[in-house]
Amino acid sequence: LAKTTQPISMDSYEGQEVNITCSHNNIATNDYITWYQQFPSQGPRFIIQGYKTKVTNEVASLFIPADRKSSTLSLPRVSLSDTAVYYCLGGYPWSQGGKLIFGQGTELSVKP
């Protein structure tokens, strides 16, 4: 199982780009990296996944280097509404036989 390490917390200001890096040294060859976002008093929600290089959607971009030992979630021009906890996850239910390890997550605080 891929265990992940992320910074516990990060601070930013509105309009800035925020990059959150996750380390996953033992990720399996066939595993994707997935990221979730959790707002206060809500369940986590899936925001992006990738295998290597760069993936972009309407919420974020995900950069994964060739060695795949880390990944970086990039949030362009954050707003107050991006204040949340962000979790990275190595693999997903069907690649891991069901067992998953989320880790502590990164608490992002966006200030005006």
13 or 51: whose CB is closer to another protein? Answer: 51
The residues facing 33 across adjacent strands are 50, 90
Cβ-based nearer residue to another protein, 9 or 16? 9
Closest to another protein by CB, 40 vs 112, is: 40
* Cβ 11 to another protein shortest distance, Å: 18
Q: Which residues bind another protein (CB under 8 A)?
A: 32, 34, 36, 41-46, 49, 87, 92-95, 97-105
DSSP string of 34-94, one letter each residue: EEEEE-TTS--EEEEEESSEEEE-SS-EEEE-TT-SEEEEEESS--GGG-EEEEEEES-TT
